[in-house]
Amino acid sequence: MEKRELLYTGKAKSVYATDNADQVVILYRNDTSALDGKRIEQLDRKGMVNNKFNAFIMDKLAAAGIPVHHEKLLSDTESLVKRLDMIPVECVVRNFAAGSLVRRLGVEEGLALNPPTFELFLKNDALGDPMVNEYHVRSFGWATDEQLNRMKVLSFQVNDVLSKLFDAGNMLLVDFKLEFGTFHGEIMLGDEFSPDGCRLWDKDTRKKLDKDRFRQNLGNVVEAYEEVGQRLGITFD
Ligand code: TMP
């Protein structure tokens, strides 16, 4: 496998072509953003931590039968993945109220949501990733009914697998965001799963162990990500 030209630069990752049209290399950078990219800082080690964290989680999801784009780690900060045609919609599952749900509905942070909720957001920084519903997704042609249903089923499967995994490390999976794409017509989980795109709290103290530490200026951001990894048995060095 040969790494070729830069295809796309996101807020925290860069995507490179390879000599195989079906594969791309993802480079995890230390950039950390909030406020739809309006605040960006460099956090030492974050690229490496998220790359290894994501590989561990994707392998667990694949072992549970969920189709994922991840193929293998290439280096501390690079992974080889299948090249997907991305669906421009973010799927968010919530087990407890936090973040935008608390702001939108005025409910108390930490309220248990039973059953968990499923929300859709359009990937558009200029518009601030607005919330959309299933009719918007179909009418604007971002995904078909069948694709949308598959994304929903897979999102709840991911929730079942990962809620148990984090529970074993004495953590609550509060909420998370997934992005899907198609690979030769099949819906597959793309992007990443790391503490940048989910909320994780210690079960006893409810200490925040995710990107809210950056958003809320709580400090020790990467240290918290590494603590989550250590609780799951991931080694970073
Ligand atoms: P929210 O409470 O801000 O709507 O976010 C819900 C979860 O989804 C939280 O874990 C953060 C994650 N998320 C992202 O990672 N990127 C996004 O663009 C959005 C809207 C949410």
At 83-134, the pLDDT tens digits run 999 999 999 999 999 999 999 999 999 999 999 999 999 999 999 999 999 9
| Rounded to 5°, angle at Cα 153 from 100 and 50 | 60
* CATH superfamily name and code, 3-82: Phosphorylase Kinase; domain 1 (3.30.200.20)
> Ligand 1: which atom is nearest the Cα of residue 175?
10
Q: How confident is the model at residue 44 (pLDDT cuts 50, 70, 90)?
A: very high
Give residue 163's pLDDT: 99
The residue to mutate among 92, 194, 228, having the most atoms of ligand 1 within 8 angstroms of its beta carbon, is 92
- pLDDT classification of 28: cutoffs 50, 70, 90: very high
- pTM beyond 0.85: the answer is yes
Q: Which atom of ligand 1 is nearest to the CA of 119?
A: 4
> Are the C-beta atoms of 177 and 198 separated by less than 8 Å?
yes
Residue pair 92/176 in contact by the 8 Å Cβ criterion: yes
Pocket test for ligand 1, best of 177, 179, 196, 201 (most atoms within 8 A of CB): 177
Residue given tokens 């990467």 in the structure block: 222
How confident is the model at residue 66, as a pLDDT?
98
Closest atom of ligand 1 relative to the 100 alpha carbon: 2
Give ligand 1 pocket residues (Cβ under 6 A): 90, 92, 98-101, 121, 129, 175-177, 197-199
Distance (angstroms) between ligand 1 centre and the Cα of 19 equals 34
Residues of the chain with CATH 3.30.470.20: 85-220
**Shortest-distance Cα residue to atom 18 of ligand 1:** 129
Nearest C-alpha to atom 14 of ligand 1 is from which residue? 197
**Chain centroid to CA 164:** 17
Cα-to-centroid distance, 177 and ligand 1 (Å) = 6
- Ligand 1 pocket test: pick from 105, 175, 191, 228 the residue with the most ligand atoms within 8 Å of its Cβ: 175
| % of the chain residues with pLDDT over 70 | 100
Q: Which residue is closest in CA terms to ligand 1's atom 16?
A: 197
Q: What is the mean pLDDT of the chain?
A: 98
Distance 76 CA to ligand 1 centre (A): 25
Q: What CATH class is the domain 85-220? A: alpha beta
The amino acid present at 131, given as its one-letter code, is M
CATH 3.30.200.20 domain position(s) in the chain: 3-82
Quickly state the pLDDT bin for 141 (edges 50, 70, 90).
very high
Annotate the chain with three-state secondary structure: CCEEEEEEECCCEEEEEECCCCEEEEEECCEEEECCCCEEEECCCHHHHHHHHHHHHHHHHHHCCCCECEEEECCCCEEEEECCEEEEEEEEEEEECCHHHHHHHCCCCCCEEEEEEEEEEECCHHHCCCEECHHHHHHCCCCCHHHHHHHHHHHHHHHHHHHHHHHHCCEEEEEEEEEEEEECCEEEECCCCCCCCEEEEECCCCCECCCHHHHCCCCCHHHHHHHHHHHHCCCCC
Q: What is the pLDDT of residue 37?
A: 87
